[in-house]
Structure 1
Amino acid sequence: MPGTTGHTHTSHRHSTTHLLEAGYRPVSTETAHTDLTVRGTLPPQLDGTFLRIGPNTRGEHDPAVQHAFAGTGMVHALRLGGGRAHWYRNRWLRDGALARELGELPTPGPLHGLDGPVNANLVRHAGRTLAVTDGGALPLVLDADLRTRARTDFDGTLPGGFCAHPLTDPVTGELHGVAVDPAGDRALVLTVDVEGRVRDALPVPVKGRPWMHAFALTERHTVLFDLPVAHDPAEARAGSPVPYTWQPDRDARIGIVPRDRPGAAALWLDVPPCFVFHPVNAFEDADGRITVDVIRHERAFDRDRLHPSESAPTLWRWTLDPREGAVVERQLDSRVQEFPRIDERRTGLPYRYAFTVELVPGQGAALGGPALLRHDLATGRTDRHAFGDGRQGGEAVFVPRDALAPEGDGWLLTLVYDTATDRSELLVLDTADFTGPPVATVPLPARVPHGFHAQWVPSEW
């Protein structure tokens, strides 16, 4: 893989004119369509629902003045099964403000978390599909028609809000999360049992309410990212819905919290200043060293407070040595990329393959790009699947060919926007022919704006 090991700490204002393009414009209506056309052959093993979530502002949207992460959440879904694409639909998520705006009854459930937009991610756990986000809001429970059924605090066991990037341990089936307390200087390291109740909430002291958008998990540790993007009181007083900015005087450090020692303190290791929205995966060796692969931004929300556009994110590896108190970092690939996914059966374990979205250089705020990348971390080879002229795709979801398939053997599903038709389509790639044509394409009768994260929910809800 191409790469370098040096650091460049300059900051550049990237153009955000691409955010005015049709692929980024919010859609204005909720729609539903059935019996969609399929080009090619949908594998019969794909029996489930593909989901995608992101901000979708109601009414006028101006990226020059509105924060990229603040729009009302919308979920898009395609139901697949029996070699057919049965339906597509989209719905706004009913937070308190939207329910009032639509004249609907409030969404039931507790309200000890914030009642802001839930637009960041989706997770399936304990028989429920949950929409989740940053900032202290509670998860929203969605039904199979994408209706918002309730807010949940996991049967009263969640002491505050939740987080945007929970991870499922593939061995135990438990759900893990790291939530920053919006009212205090601490993070809560959370474990949700297989029945959907919080069984452990470990408080970890932090300073100044850092933006811990995500974390990493190994078999024995939780890895925290306390980096220089943190709560900015001046932005909050000015009314910013996402009052987090780059703070150059703040330390950058990685925290290691044991999973098998209740109440144990975090061990903090310093790293050069940077920001991580999305780790790829983490694992540890027999000597206690922890490998953490991340998409690393040189900085974020510094000169541009509305978009994560300060630098060109690339793939890096941190090797943590708790005994020596040291971190060694190395760039694995120099191409601009984001939205990493893996075969989630390897979450927290040694792994080989990472899938990312290649971005256009100079468009640091991009949510879609011209190609998918597959990194073979064992051989150093990177393969590229290009979408074609005028086409951009977002985060892909990996679905194994079967439960016992080797790592990375299966399908990648992603939504691609085509500027020529002003429509989106679902692409299904077979990883056995990653660079070849899709095995199936499902054209949609609508446009799906570039959004955040995707999920696959097997079979019926």
Structure 2
Amino acid sequence: MTHFPDTMSFTGFNTPSRIEADIVDLDIDGEVPAEMNGAFYRVQPDPQFPPKLGDDISFNGDGMITQFRIKDGKVNFRQRWAKTDKWKLEKEAGKALFGAYRNPLTDDESVEGKIRGTANTNAFVHGGRLYGMKEDSPALVMDPVTLETVGYTDFDGKMTGETFTAHPKIDPKTGNMCAFGYASKGVLTLDMTYYEISPDNKLLYEIWFENPYYAMMHDFAVTEDYAIFHVVPSTSNWERLEKGLPHFGFDTTMPVYLGVLPRRPDATAEDIRWFKAPNLFASHVMNAFQEGSKIHFDTPEAKNNMFPFFPDIHGAPFNPQEAASFLTRWTVDLASNSEEFESRTRLTDMMGEFPRIDDRMTGLKYRYGWLLVIDPSQPVELKGGSAGGYVMNTLGLVDHETGKEQKWWCGPTSSLQEPCFVPRSKDAPEGDGWIVQICNRLEEHRSDLLIFDALDIEKGPVATAKIPVRLRFGLHGNWADADVIGDE
């Protein structure tokens, strides 16, 4: 008998959805901008079967990719499984075969050595391909129009590492996809790989190097000349896995590092420069850019661990006050002989995460940034259950040039998923366009797609597409114009 556990990860709004669907012409409140012609892709972890070990964290669910095709003022909905090797093996067996998150010691012996990835973290379009991404495995290629799965890629055998990030960046000048992998030689290894992939999906070069210690390397940044890696002590070891503990644990005794690697084919591990800071927590990156010899790296920073499901490695209880994150600029100087950060400067008093920019400004000095904000001044009524560990109930906008900010609150029984910027046209000024994002209607157990004027979010959505099904809390997503996906 199939039964999902009666735990927080599998009940209320987090109840597994497992829905593949096509819905033409969603019901719209407001008016979808006529200039929008493309697709917004996002992904949610959504387990195909109840967990093998009786309970699980949401990060371990199978990838379910959603496409919102927007054209002529209308929105169509399509949703399909990312059919990874794991998904196919478990589909054939009719049950879960893979165990705990990032712990192969808990798997059924029949799947030993198989790729454990779920493609549940990002949906990213490059060179006419849709990539379903999870950082513990290669990238999964899917058709950007039909969402049918093609399979994992190693870029014609040129990718020699075992893993590929869920947070690639596109260099706006070259069109190259910049990416990396960690634990590139297998679980818990220190090995890292940096990749550059051409606009037609050819792997141009890779650079191997080692981290100062093993850590969750979830995101990174690029500038015109460098790849920037922040190493934060969400760490692990084989002893944890053998004991059946959560893969990652946060170590408050360890320093943080920022690695600066030249982006050129002849660079080696010897060319990376490491800078050090006291213990803190940071995960996602808003952007980074160069100013002379200085590198500026903008990330939401917290005093302590933000992930209660990856607990303190020394047994300290989770501290929600110290988990509050604020967008902070880390600055290092390549001309300095110091190994320390030059400065860390808070950029806003809005408490938030999931930062996004106008991606055409990747690696460049930029003006605008959006993020999900936790606004404690607003009332919260968790009717229907929380959609995530934090009540991200507000969309925030930061103008780095003027210091002005905007906020829009989604209401007491709703929460928001990651924003995504859509430019009005390819050559529109920075920030001229729209924000698209999912709103979780917790009480009603359904979801909406919201569309905002990107630089005037405080007036609220210009259009709301009502989705007649519930989308679980998703992680990341991206926009692609119709000509990029071949669906004009």
TM range (shorter): 0.7 to 0.9
Match in the other structure for 2:172: 170
Match in the other structure for 2:148: 147
Cα 1:301–1:443 change in 2 (3 A) is: closer
Cα 1:355–1:119 change in 2 (3 A) is: same
Determine the C-alpha separation between the residues in 2 that align with 1:393 and 1:301: 18
SS of the equivalent of 2:90 reads helix
Deviation at 1:236, TM superposition (A): 2.1
Matched, 1:243 2:247: yes
Matched, 1:78 2:93: no
Determine the C-alpha separation between the residues in 2 that align with 1:185 and 1:113: 21
Q: TM-score, normalised by structure 2?
A: 0.82
Q: Is the 2:451–2:461 Cα contact (8 Å) retained in structure 1?
A: yes
Q: For 1:364-383, what aligned pairs fall within 5 Å after superposition? A: 366=389, 369-383=392-406
Q: Is the 1:178–1:214 Cα contact (8 Å) retained in structure 2?
A: no
Match of 1:196 among 187, 197, 201: 201
Match in the other structure for 2:334: 322
Deviation at 1:306, TM superposition (A): 6.7
Match of 1:437 among 457, 460, 463: 460
Matched, 1:159 2:160: yes
Determine the C-alpha separation between the residues in 2 that align with 1:154 and 1:204: 20
Q: For 1:273-312, what aligned pairs fall within 5 Å after superposition? A: 273-286=279-292, 288-300=293-305, 304-305=309-310, 311-312=323-324
Match in the other structure for 1:134: 135
Cα offsets for 1:394-414 (capped at 9, x unmatched): 111101111222111110001
Matched, 1:95 2:69: no
Q: For 1:22-421, what aligned pairs fall within 5 Å after superposition? A: 22-60=12-50, 65-85=55-75, 87-103=76-92, 114-135=115-136, 137-143=137-143, 144-160=145-161, 161-180=163-182, 181-183=184-186, 184-239=189-244, 243-260=247-264, 262-263=267-268, 264-286=270-292, 288-300=293-305, 304-305=309-310, 311-324=323-336, 325=338, 326-327=340-341, 328-359=343-374, 366=389, 369-421=392-444
Cα 1:433–1:64 change in 2 (3 A) is: farther
Cα 1:101–1:248 change in 2 (3 A) is: same
Cα 1:396–1:61 change in 2 (3 A) is: farther
SS of the equivalent of 2:261 reads strand
Deviation at 1:302, TM superposition (A): 7.7
Deviation at 1:435, TM superposition (A): 0.8
Q: TM-score, normalised by structure 1?
A: 0.87
Q: Is the 1:187–1:205 Cα contact (8 Å) retained in structure 2?
A: yes
Determine the C-alpha separation between the residues in 2 that align with 1:88 and 1:314: 34
Deviation at 1:182, TM superposition (A): 4.5
SS of the equivalent of 2:166 reads coil
Deviation at 1:103, TM superposition (A): 2.7
Cα 1:229–1:365 change in 2 (3 A) is: farther
Q: What is the letter of the counterpart of residue 366 of structure 1?
A: G
SS of the equivalent of 2:24 reads strand
Deviation at 1:227, TM superposition (A): 1.8
Q: Is the 1:340–1:354 Cα contact (8 Å) retained in structure 2?
A: yes
Determine the C-alpha separation between the residues in 2 that align with 1:376 and 1:80: 28
Aligned residues: 436
Cα 1:309–1:341 change in 2 (3 A) is: farther
Q: Is the 2:122–2:475 Cα contact (8 Å) retained in structure 1?
A: yes
Which consecutive unaligned segments of at least 5 residues does structure 1 have?
1-16, 105-110
Cα offsets for 1:122-171 (capped at 9, x unmatched): 22112111011112x11111112222121111111111221111111011
Determine the C-alpha separation between the residues in 2 that align with 1:256 and 1:81: 41
Deviation at 1:64, TM superposition (A): 10
Q: Is the 2:252–2:304 Cα contact (8 Å) retained in structure 1?
A: no
Determine the C-alpha separation between the residues in 2 that align with 1:303 and 1:436: 34
Cα offsets for 1:168-226 (capped at 9, x unmatched): 10110001112112533221111112221221111112244221111111111111112
Determine the C-alpha separation between the residues in 2 that align with 1:234 and 1:309: 25
Cα 1:367–1:202 change in 2 (3 A) is: farther
Q: Is the 1:223–1:257 Cα contact (8 Å) retained in structure 2?
A: yes
Q: What is the letter of the counterpart of residue 401 of structure 1?
A: R
Determine the C-alpha separation between the residues in 1 that align with 2:425 and 2:252: 47
